Structure 1
Amino acid sequence: MRHATVPVSDVLLATEGTYPYTLGGVSAWADRLIRGLPDRTFTVYAVVANPGASQRYELPTNVHRLLMVPLWGTDRHEEFSWNAPAGRLFGARRAFRRDFLPAYEAWITACLRPAETKLADAREALWVFARFAEEGLMKYALRHPKTWEVLRARLAEHPVFRHLNLFEAIDIGKLLYRYLAPLAFPAPEARVYHASAAAFCALPLVIAKERYGRPLLITEHGVYYRERLLNLARIERAAPYRYFLSSLYSLVVRLAYQAADSVAPVARFNAVWEERLGVPREKIHPIPNGVDPRAFHIVREAGSGDEPLRLVMVARIDPLKDIHTAIRAMRSLRDVYGNRPELEGVTLTIYGPAPDPAYEASCRDLVRQYGLEQMVHFAGPTDDVNQALNSGDLAVMSSSSEGFPYAAVEAVMAGRPIVATDVGGMREIVRHPYGMLVPPRRPRDLADAIARFAAMRDRLAELGRIGRDRMLAEYTLERFVARYRAWYDDWTDEGDRTHERKVSV
């Protein structure tokens, strides 16, 4: 599958819904990783929602190639695939009955009855799907009446899924075509394959690992499976439909983990989930994120000046960031602590994009409902995050899920004491005395912690410097890059030996 004019990259980095098409923590991670290793060449394999996505990052010169993989917005995946298959039906009917139908049944069974299924059967099915997808036959196979019969039969015999209505059953069939789209975009050869999540973007890398005898590495930010479950809890669909999707996500994650040679979560918290999902402890090697201390530094000391206390949040306006909890905490500050002079005139300014218009509208509605228009301000995205952080006295984060958030490291590196929710790897960043952690979705607890910091305004500058010193000791960009360089070096050497043995055979 090697492209005729493009050399083999040192690393093929697969992303899903992030770099280089969106802003945010994972995209920042990818950009800093690639730019921090200018002596390594990269292919970026980017899974996106649709082919109309616009780049938000200018690619550095060590990126050999950007491969876009759209899940939606196309009639046939091969319209955008560099593989350009013919999609001929000669011999396809026989292969469909002999290979595809048994593979499809094994895959559906793995989703419906995961406890009764061998992961090896699902892995073999993935190989069959990859062959059909690469030959441009996936749409033909998934739309075949026999495929529909298999799906309906397996759903009907299950005590839970037999209650799915016709619309939801059809939707499951369509989703499989879209979610398996990356298999129609075969990953070209690289010396190391690196998935930014144990997700659908990792499936072509599972195939490429075996095809070329190269290692597969996975980084986990927010645990992909956990975040999918949180998202499923918010959608308005019947329980059987949501359960099927949760089983599908679990299957994909477990296949990716099983194939991985090494998994590097950005936080030790993630390792707990990874072990539960089948990753041996000896495969897990956490690599925390790091930031450039030259880009994030103290311009104005926290708590200085005579202005009212200013709270600052840098976050996407997104359900996982749980902006609602921050807004409700501001109501508590007004209603419970409003008579305290140190909190008179307190404000919260939120900097960040709003990729979910419906959620942004709900946040603004909540501000109006509580009459907080003078206390809570939405400033939109900013190109100067350090200046935004320095405009505040105290950083606030109210997320319901996180990996190892850049926003927290950047805030502390900029000398801001911080109040944050105890999710993901947050407790690895936020420590006493410069930080306080509270349980997620507890607005009153968040308000109480803010009030405690407000009562010691004269110490905020000192606490900010203590926090920055700790970030300098542990979470700099230099340390981040060095850890990934060593990880790549180890597995590139191992991969070269494995590849040579495969070629010789």
Structure 2
Amino acid sequence: MTRRKAPVSDVLLATEGTYPYTLGGVSAWADRLIQGLSDFRFTVYAVVANPGATPRYALPDNVDRLLMVPLWGTDRHEEFSWNPQMSWSLGVRRAFQRDFLPAYEAFLTACLRPAEARLDEALDALRVMAAFAERGNMKYALRHEKTWDILRSRLSEHPLFRHLNLFEAVDIGKLLYRYLAPLAFPVPEARIYHSSAAAFCALPLVIAKERYHRPLLVTEHGVYYRERLLSIGRMERAAPYRYFLSSLYGLVVRLVYQAADSVAPVAKFNALWEQKLGVPPERIHPIPNGVDPRVFHITRNPGSGNQPLRLVMIARIDPLKDIHTAIRAMRALREAYGTRPELVGVTLTIYGPAPDPAYEASCRDLVREYRLENVVRFAGPTDDVNGALNGGDIAVMSSSSEGFPYAAVEAVMAGRPIVATNVGGMSEIVQPPYGILVPPRRPRELADAIARLAANRSQLATLGRLGRERMLAEFTLDRFLERYRAWYHAWASEGEHEHERRDRETV
């Protein structure tokens, strides 16, 4: 019996820790993109933390396949790979000596000494390691005594790493094995390769671009490298480990940017980072997010009724959303403005999942510490975001990092005046008179901005309508889909020409 050949999808979309296994943010973007472009066939290549992840989105009919790539939760990546395993044969041993060891050393050196790294050499090394990973030999290669000799030798030569103990050195070796796991899951042929981030999920697409001569496109939401640096800054790990992580992230990001034919940041702010990281301006084509005005609309005017003002936040309980600053702002609001009639009884309701239990606990502890139990409420995820927004009078966002946040567009489309932190592409959404921006991590300034809007309660409905009109003019779902459809069509045509040219050259 012959195996049926899988279809060649129009687009292979790679995700990392998002669609279809988590809700909101990048996952919502991917879901709207795939469902809205029903004239395109998709393969979804999803990098996840472990193989026990459960999809949170129902895949539409235009998804040909969902390919799961677990980084953790398995002893060998090949257990979950759709690629047949190969044995550690004599030929592989020779290739290990001849090819793998020099490639590993080059890639490791690029991570340890990023200022001296040459991207062409790092890419050559990536190709060699991908060949080993695809054949099921990466674990054997990385556990080999000679590989460890190279790791110890390179670490001992570096002033920051020479005093690492054995456990810390082993940890760095394991880290490379886990983060390079996607190389063991080669992507099938597609007409377009599209990565939702310049991240590890894009590395197999870099290899496939060369193999199949198809274009590689990258979308940037929050700037991946910037957000990884923020995450590293919160780690309670030794400085050498954090330095290695930051260098590894930086190398991967630059490799992906170098290979990308076109990069579509969701915000103009992201483009500045991309240019600093080596993307030529002519390859950058921003495509902002958009929402459906039929889903997000006004059902209750903000400021209406006689109840105390209600602040509403739609956000994951996550460090990047900086819920701590919002809680501290509510304390500052009470202490500085608590006697003002328009702010008596004001509350903040936060809707969203809590993927980080430790951070959620810290938020609840802060609420108790400030005795805000009757002021700040955690409502959990909601299936009715528009209803949650319309239940509030002013939207609040206190993020320390953002791309082009759906939550902000949705809030303004639902007619809510908004106070937000000036991060990422927020300034492209939140503008006067319907919105106020403040610097991140400044709870008192966030409280002052809320008080300014609250002082004009009778004007909130007018401000909300002005905000909605601007969203209708610039950030609708239809405009979002039109831009992606044009982007795909242009690069699919370019890819077909290149593919045909390469085929003629090989005849």
Q: Do the structures match in fold with TM over 0.5?
A: yes
- The residue type paired with residue 156 of structure 1 is S
Aligned residue for 2:250, secondary structure, equals helix
Aligned residue for 2:90, secondary structure, equals coil
Shift of 1:164: 2.4
Alignment of 1:380-395 (within 5 A): 380-395=380-395
Instruction: Note the alpha carbon deviations across 1:279-324, whole angstroms, 9 max, x for none.
Output: 0000000000000000000000010000000000000000000000
Q: What residue number does 1:182 align with?
A: 182
How far apart in 1 are the matches of 2:98 and 2:291? 53
How far apart in 2 are the matches of 1:193 and 1:93? 33
Q: What residue number does 2:157 align with?
A: 157
- The residue type paired with residue 410 of structure 1 is E
How far apart in 2 are the matches of 1:476 and 1:403? 17
**TM-score under structure 2 length normalisation:** 0.98
How far apart in 1 are the matches of 2:5 and 2:60? 19
Aligned residue for 1:13, secondary structure, equals strand
How far apart in 2 are the matches of 1:335 and 1:407? 28
Shift of 1:12: 0.2
How far apart in 2 are the matches of 1:310 and 1:231? 31
Equivalenced residue count is: 503
Shift of 1:218: 0.1
- The residue type paired with residue 184 of structure 2 is A
CA contact (8 A) 1:217 1:262 kept: yes
Identity in percent: 79
Moved more, 318-327 or 166-175: 166-175
- The residue type paired with residue 255 of structure 1 is L
Shift of 1:160: 1.3
The answer to whether structure 1 residue 440 and structure 2 residue 440 are counterparts is yes
Q: What residue number does 1:68 align with?
A: 68
Moved more, 277-286 or 90-99: 90-99
Instruction: Note the alpha carbon deviations across 1:212-268, whole angstroms, 9 max, x for none.
Output: 000000000000000000000001111111011100000000000000000000000
Q: What residue number does 2:327 align with?
A: 327
Instruction: Note the alpha carbon deviations across 1:36-68, whole angstroms, 9 max, x for none.
Output: 110100000000000000000000000000000
Aligned residue for 1:164, secondary structure, equals coil
CA contact (8 A) 1:398 1:441 kept: yes
How far apart in 2 are the matches of 1:188 and 1:265? 25
The answer to whether structure 1 residue 484 and structure 2 residue 484 are counterparts is yes
Instruction: Note the alpha carbon deviations across 1:51-96, whole angstroms, 9 max, x for none.
Output: 0000000000000000000000111111111112223423121111
CA contact (8 A) 1:412 1:464 kept: yes
- The residue type paired with residue 202 of structure 2 is A
How far apart in 1 are the matches of 2:165 and 2:262? 41
Instruction: Note the alpha carbon deviations across 1:378-397, whole angstroms, 9 max, x for none.
Output: 00000000000000000000
How far apart in 2 are the matches of 1:212 and 1:85? 22
Aligned residue for 2:317, secondary structure, equals coil
Shift of 1:361: 0.3
Shift of 1:340: 0.5
- The residue type paired with residue 294 of structure 1 is R
Q: What residue number does 1:475 align with?
A: 475
Q: What residue number does 1:18 align with?
A: 18
How far apart in 1 are the matches of 2:341 and 2:164? 58
- The residue type paired with residue 430 of structure 1 is V
5+ long unaligned stretches in structure 1:
none
Instruction: Note the alpha carbon deviations across 1:104-153, whole angstroms, 9 max, x for none.
Output: 00001101111212111100000001100011100000000111110111
How far apart in 2 are the matches of 1:211 and 1:119? 19
Aligned CA RMSD, in angstroms, stands at 0.8
Q: What residue number does 2:429 align with?
A: 429
Q: What residue number does 1:142 align with?
A: 142
Shift of 1:273: 0.5
Alignment of 1:226-241 (within 5 A): 226-241=226-241
Shift of 1:167: 1.6
How far apart in 1 are the matches of 2:389 and 2:166? 51
How far apart in 2 are the matches of 1:373 and 1:214? 55
- The residue type paired with residue 388 of structure 1 is A
How far apart in 2 are the matches of 1:459 and 1:359? 36
Shift of 1:99: 0.4
Aligned residue for 1:285, secondary structure, equals coil
CA contact (8 A) 1:163 1:240 kept: no
- The residue type paired with residue 483 of structure 1 is R
- The residue type paired with residue 282 of structure 2 is E
Q: What residue number does 2:35 align with?
A: 35
**TM-score under structure 1 length normalisation:** 0.99
How far apart in 2 are the matches of 1:311 and 1:87? 61
- The residue type paired with residue 462 of structure 2 is E
CA contact (8 A) 1:164 1:241 kept: no
How far apart in 2 are the matches of 1:6 and 1:101? 34
- The residue type paired with residue 279 of structure 1 is V
Moved more, 156-165 or 252-261: 156-165
Aligned residue for 1:46, secondary structure, equals strand
- The residue type paired with residue 360 of structure 2 is E
5+ long unaligned stretches in structure 2:
none
How far apart in 2 are the matches of 1:282 and 1:450? 40
- The residue type paired with residue 498 of structure 1 is E
- The residue type paired with residue 444 of structure 1 is R
Alignment of 1:62-101 (within 5 A): 62-101=62-101
Q: What residue number does 1:252 align with?
A: 252
- The residue type paired with residue 370 of structure 1 is Y
